[in-house]
Structure 1
Amino acid sequence: MKLAALRTMSAFVMTFALQGCGTSAPASVDGLRRVVGTDLIGARGATPEDQRKIDRTAVGICAAAIWTKAECKRHGEGR
């Protein structure tokens, strides 16, 4: 479950970072970096610390309203 969540999160981050929303690129890489953070670097979803890294990344994404409230709630389910 945790590895699947990490893969989903990684795919989302890469898609968002490379394609942006809609047809334009993100306003700034620095802004995207502040929202997404760098916690996922090296996280494999295998340890409690990895899960905390995934959760910290999700918090930034939820706080920036990139995910809907329902999607944010779904991230926390299953634990």
Structure 2
Amino acid sequence: MTRAELQKLWEARIAEYRESGQSVKEWCASHEGISPRQLWYWLRKFKNQTTAPPESSNRWLPIEISEQGSPEQSLLVKIG
């Protein structure tokens, strides 16, 4: 198995673990051949890797502007 294949396999396993809501010990007990030590290793390994650049994770939120305020009021937008 190549390094890329192994990484994809563990990415899928970690996604399955996170979706399960189980503890590491419980999840490993229900997945024969995977030890908690292995799972913790891969969780730490992927913790420092980001799948998307930060700039692509921005979201736009809708705002409603009321005409009840005075025209001198301003809107302050903070980014970051």
TM interval, short-chain normalised = 0.3 to 0.5
Please identify the structure whose Cα radius of gyration is greater: 2
Structure with the bigger RCO (C-alpha within 8 Å, sep 6+) is 1
Between Structure 1 and Structure 2, which shows a larger proportion of helix residues?
A: 1
